[in-house]
Amino acid sequence: MITRDLSTTARRKPEWLKVRAPGGDAYRRIKRLLRERSLHTVCEEARCPNMGECWGGGTATIMLMGDVCTRGCRFCAVKTGNPRGRLDRDEPRKVSEVISTLGLKYLVLTSVDRDDLPDGGAAHFAETVRRLKSQDPGLLVEVLIPDFAGDRAALGAVLGAGPDVLAHNLETVRRLTPSVRDRRAGYDPSLDLLRSAKEIRPGIHTKSSIMLGLGETDVETLEAMADLRSAGVDILTLGQYLQPTPRHSEVVEFIRPERFDALAVEGRAMGFLYVASGPLVRSSYRAGEFFLEGILQGRPERAGEKG
């Protein structure tokens, strides 16, 4: 049974959420290389609390198609606007060049929403994956994609490029979706996308993420987890929502680490191949370690460990 401790109702950030400022040689090297090629990371744009740890370990999540999103979700710090079709067509090459210098085994590609593009940017995703795979066939690539406005052909184009993991985030429970996500995003459309990915390419590993602390109940969280399993999702991450600026959705509650542990147990019982559950876990946090060690190397018994 999952118990609630309302003493952690949001006022001040608890000790378990405090992290060091980013730094170190690897962090500075990655930042320099990305700046030189005018590339963006979701680590910076979304103000991820794990940026120092992940970059210090030589890992970053590349954000394609610029840093201006056409949607305005109330949990996200990425800038909102209309890029009016502007797109760096040379970005796939730039990304492949940067990755070749970093020597990574696992890479996460994500993007802003690009409703201003006819295919939502699916072809751009696909071209980037193809270049990366051509350059290094052994590189594992995860794509964390937007919903492409429900365009199944766009989803198929991305899957056809050969990513190893297809991720799309549910973000929150059904009741809170209209108040947390942009009006063009939806709870059921997200589930439909994840379900469709398995239909289009049955062997693909799918992944999703839920933020906690927005006012959801335990019953609602478990229902959302069950909905993801029903859609065939293999990998689940659960993390604490943190308010990026005063104009974004407020934190209703800071979830204690023990509650995240209990949810990981529930997730394993539901049949997820891997559950990363903890206050600082994010959708791509230590993704390579989770996937490489927990799934590809055939050790599913590690699937409940926290990030």
Give the per-residue pLDDT at 286.
59
Give the per-residue pLDDT at 29.
65
List the domain boundaries for the chain.
Answer: 6-302
Give the per-residue pLDDT at 33.
67
Give the per-residue pLDDT at 78.
85
Give the per-residue pLDDT at 303.
41
Give the per-residue pLDDT at 304.
41
Q: Please identify every stretch of the chain with a pLDDT value under 70, giving residue numbers as ranges.
A: 1-11, 18-31, 33-60, 284-307
What is the dihedral sign for C-alpha 281, 44, 241, 238?
Answer: negative
Residue 123 tokens read as 């072809």
> What letter does residue 137 receive in the DSSP assignment?
T
Residues 250-286 have pLDDT tens digits of 999 999 999 999 999 999 999 999 898 999 887 765 5
Give the per-residue pLDDT at 145.
98
Give the per-residue pLDDT at 17.
75
Q: What angle do CA 39, 45, 50 make, to 5 degrees?
A: 105
C-alpha 141, offset from chain centre: 13
What's the rounded Cα separation, in Å, for the pair 97 and 33? Answer: 10
Per residue, what are the HEC states of 158-183? HHHCCCCEEECCCECCCCCHHHHCCC
- Closest C-alpha to 227, from 190, 181, 177: 190
What's the rounded Cα separation, in Å, for the pair 114 and 154? Answer: 12
Specify the long-range contacts of residues 7-14, CB closer than 8 Å, at least 24 apart.
8/253, 8/254, 8/255, 8/256, 9/252, 9/253, 9/254, 10/213, 10/250, 10/251, 10/252, 10/253, 10/254, 13/242, 13/254, 14/254
Q: What is the DSSP string of 279-304?
A: TT--TTTTHHHHHIIIIITS-GGGTT
In CATH, which superfamily holds the domain spanning 6-302? Aldolase class I (3.20.20.70)
Give the per-residue pLDDT at 299.
47
- Closest C-alpha to 205, from 105, 292, 99, 103: 292
What's the rounded Cα separation, in Å, for the pair 17 and 19? Answer: 6
Q: Strands 61-64, 106-111: parallel, antiparallel or unpaired by DSSP?
A: parallel
